[in-house]
Structure 1
């Protein structure tokens, strides 16, 4: 029977979500109890990040296995000299500090055929005995947005859009989304202008898709599913309509992932026309799903689990203050929350800029850390303005209604006019409730089509 009991490694969280990023320091304690004096050959702690993919195809003699592995870093530190040592009976504590290297590394991920795992592990070896080991996984998030692909960031006072066109025979459709970069829980406006010159009826439908691709040994395994669907009213033959809807991104959606060679996660909106006994025309509009606090940063900027200067933020203190409001709402949106609305938390910080508790760097050892949810990542902190999966009229006030906007940010000059809310979000007609054969509505839709891509 092994004399090593209750071997544990406990790390200290940098923030309430328990997340880590490139360049952070993982500090913690290794504890175990010896029931008798024991000669230890080696005792080390290791911090590493790995991506693995594995799946099989076929069966019997035709079964083929595909696997791939990528290592992003490995940091190892010996707590007992490699030559070994005699440890006395009783409780033992070893403080550890390991640095995560800088670099563009993918976030934590777990899927059906692969995973990306970052963990801290400890191992005690003895001569002619089975080693004792344990580990704790870390919830790792990417600081940069390079893993989100080519993101078109909106300029000041504009809205980033995506547009797609289908034109074949007697059917033409132009589909748009008002935003390309979103966070879990955000509401997306999807619209389509449809010209039906045929004699068939057709129904517009909208779906939000998630696509995961695993790669190994020159082969791919693709998992694609629709996370939510919506549909509109049937369009009459020989008619033209402009339709729109509001779709909420699920809170538990996996973030977009593009900086891993063997695993990728993509998202898109599919707008298609359901036509009986005919090919269904469709348009696909790519989206990028990012953690909540990163969606408003300009390209090239890093983000952390908390804004710079927040209590329990990143361990590095050289981040410049952001030049934009860190919120998924535009700077002049009515009712958009700001960080000034929340009082600073009265939480003491430790010597490394992290939350500390009694005994965190001494004896006895701290209590176990509860890492955040790796699959879902960040939780969206902002209240939603529309219920999920429902058709709503465009939430734009008429020009005659005046709203009290927030105070002008410091970077606006005194006396400069701020852009209005309606100039940022033009009205989108909602025609799902009407009849496609209504001539008057058809004329209105021609006069006020869905706003073009700008």
Structure 2
């Protein structure tokens, strides 16, 4: 009969998604249920994050394997014993050991699993006994990186253009401008792609839209590429000698993997592909790369407000769009949210980046139809601080129905410093920082005037001789 009835590892989630990020604290417990007394060399818990890739390539008659790995952190905590400690006797019953780890700060990629590689963060507990195989149990952590570039730099619109001269089987040319309202999106958001197509050729063509994931694995100076079409939409055909605006809405799947750009051996990127399907000709296409952010970074659309990332009226010809024309310039944003823009669109407060489009696109895009960003966008996650645990009970032998709580050995007890003795403050003297200005008597030899002539009543004013007495030298000879 085995001595260990069960060996379990659990952890406490910090949010509804159960995700962790750089700097978060992972707390949990290891539950050990024994049907009889055992002797153990150690019981420890590890937290670690690793990335690895591996694929094979056949060259002639030989298969060559490429592999690489990265370790981001490894933390270890002993709950019983130590590296070279003596065996410890554990009585039968239910024993609960609590632990706590702080994930290091720094740039680490999000969790990922692919056909040729993976990025995994996990907890692992192991019970080591003499002459016995180690008993292990592990739990995978869902890690979401918050090491992304400045979110505001990703909120600018994105425009692409393509022009194609037709070949042997048709004549004329085709021009297409494609745009979206920004460069970053979160899972669950809907992206409105707007394409202005000027078919000045003799062929019909069909616009098609795709949302594509690109994965790149790297090892030993070699790369392995994968491409997955997540969503694809085809629109109706555009006849020859026709100009048309096409709008396509594509929703990012709610559980879509985030963009990974901070891993040396695995990269995950996304882009929208818009192309014109033309028979017997090379298809002109426009690629718009985008960044998929975690849901916590979702741009701040207000409830009930939808941005309108539609194209403006064409500057070189008529348009069949039903939307009012916004301002055609790519200059500073208007002071009013509805000035030259669309109803319901919010003004974005970040200034336009200093770059020029060369050559300029045929169609202009609105610049005031982007949602305002909340002030906390430069942060990351709102993971609450874990609440303090209750007081642990003292270790003792118990029956299988009453667990024995073992406090984490590495948790130190902090005693507050003694408070300073109370000092009765003496009455503070009153200080007059600005001394009163001295009173100067500019007419010491004359009579001081203390009568307000403007406020007096019917009393006649004093005589001139009273105010200015004659001098002793006699009368003046002024003419």
Contact residue 125 and residue 132 of structure 1 kept, 8 A: yes
Contact residue 305 and residue 344 of structure 2 kept, 8 A: no
Residue in 2 aligned with 1:68? 68
Cα deviation, residue 113, structure 1: 1.7
> 2:55 aligned with 1:55, yes or no?
yes
Bigger drift between 134-143 and 164-173 goes to 164-173
Deviations 1:17-74 (A, max 9, x none): 2111111111111111233322211211111111121222339942222221111101
Match of 1:420 among 319, 323, 338: 338
Alignment of 1:263-342 (within 5 A): 263-296=266-299, 327=300, 329=301, 335-336=304-305
Contact residue 162 and residue 453 of structure 1 kept, 8 A: no
> 2:99 aligned with 1:130, yes or no?
no
Cα deviation, residue 453, structure 1: 7.3
RMSD over aligned CA atoms reads: 3.2
> 2:29 aligned with 1:29, yes or no?
yes
Contact residue 341 and residue 366 of structure 2 kept, 8 A: no
Does the residue aligned with 1:58 lie in a helix, a strand or coil?
A: strand
Residue in 2 aligned with 1:187? 190
Contact residue 162 and residue 285 of structure 2 kept, 8 A: yes
Residue in 2 aligned with 1:166? 162
User: Computing the radius of gyration over CA atoms, which structure comes out larger, 1 or 2?
Assistant: 2
Does the residue aligned with 1:152 lie in a helix, a strand or coil?
A: helix
Residue in 2 aligned with 1:452? 365
Cα deviation, residue 421, structure 1: 8.9
> 2:254 aligned with 1:251, yes or no?
yes
Contact residue 151 and residue 288 of structure 1 kept, 8 A: no
Contact residue 338 and residue 344 of structure 2 kept, 8 A: no
Q: Compared with structure 1, are the counterparts of its residues 172 and 102 closer, same or farther at alpha carbon in structure 2 (3 Å cutoff)?
A: same
Residue in 2 aligned with 1:404? none
Cα deviation, residue 224, structure 1: 0.7
Does the residue aligned with 1:63 lie in a helix, a strand or coil?
A: strand
Residue in 1 aligned with 2:153? 152
How many equivalent pairs are there? 323
Q: Compared with structure 1, are the counterparts of its residues 177 and 421 closer, same or farther at alpha carbon in structure 2 (3 Å cutoff)?
A: same
CA distance, structure 1, for counterparts of residue 121 and residue 191 of structure 2: 33
CA distance, structure 1, for counterparts of residue 203 and residue 322 of structure 2: 32
Cα deviation, residue 127, structure 1: 2.2
Deviations 1:406-447 (A, max 9, x none): xxxxxxxxxx975139726799xxxxxxxxxxxxxxxxxxxx
Higher RCO by CA contacts (8 Å cutoff, separation 6 or greater): 1
CA distance, structure 2, for counterparts of residue 76 and residue 426 of structure 1: 54
Runs (5+) with no aligned partner, structure 1: 155-159, 297-326, 338-383, 386-392, 400-415, 428-448
